[in-house]
Structure 1
Amino acid sequence: MNISSIHLMLLVLLLAVVALFCTLVGAAAGLLARVGGATYATALLRGAVAFGASATLSLALLSFILTAL
């Protein structure tokens, strides 16, 4: 399979956007948990779980879209 440089640059850009989105989701979940009265450890764990879940769903969607193209 021959991937042109434009497709490769687009893939790298999409992966960077997914990483940024997942980081923001994890940070927001941790912040909301902490504001809700959770301890620092629990808030960090909830943020990590939210990051992992959003990364899994985002990468699954991205791989589905790239496969469909």
Structure 2
Amino acid sequence: MSVIAIVLLATAIVVVIALLAAAGAATLAHFDGATWATVVTRAAITFAAVLALAAALTTAFAETLTDITR
């Protein structure tokens, strides 16, 4: 499997997980009785937070693996 295929697959998995987390946050906000604007805002914040966490973990792993392979 090529490196590009692995990167695309990992990216797709991260986006799907972020979408699932956003849907969960939106559902919980809706059950809490929030307005639709608040529901969408909470979903967007959760989506962005999951992507930011994935980016931070990728950076940390890249730094660690780069140091190990030297």
Superposition TM-score tier, normalisation by shorter sequence: 0.7 to 0.9
Q: Give me the identity figure in percent.
A: 31
Counterpart check, 1:46 vs 2:42: yes
Give the paired residue count.
Answer: 65
In the alignment, structure 1 segments of 5+ residues that lack a partner are none
What is the aligned partner in structure 2 of residue 7 from structure 1? 3
User: CA 1:7–1:63 in 2, change beyond 3 Å: closer, same or farther?
Assistant: farther
Task: Indicate conservation of the 8 Å contact 1:18/1:59, yes or no.
Answer: no
Counterpart in the other structure of 1:28: 24
The answer as to whether partners of 1:18 and 1:58 remain within 8 angstroms in 2 is: yes
Structure 2 length as normaliser, TM-score?
0.81
Q: Which runs of 5+ in 2 are unaligned?
A: none
User: Over aligned residue pairs, what C-alpha RMSD do you find?
Assistant: 1.6
Deviating beyond 6 angstroms after TM superposition, the runs of 4 or more aligned structure 1 residues are none
TM value normalised by structure 1: 0.82
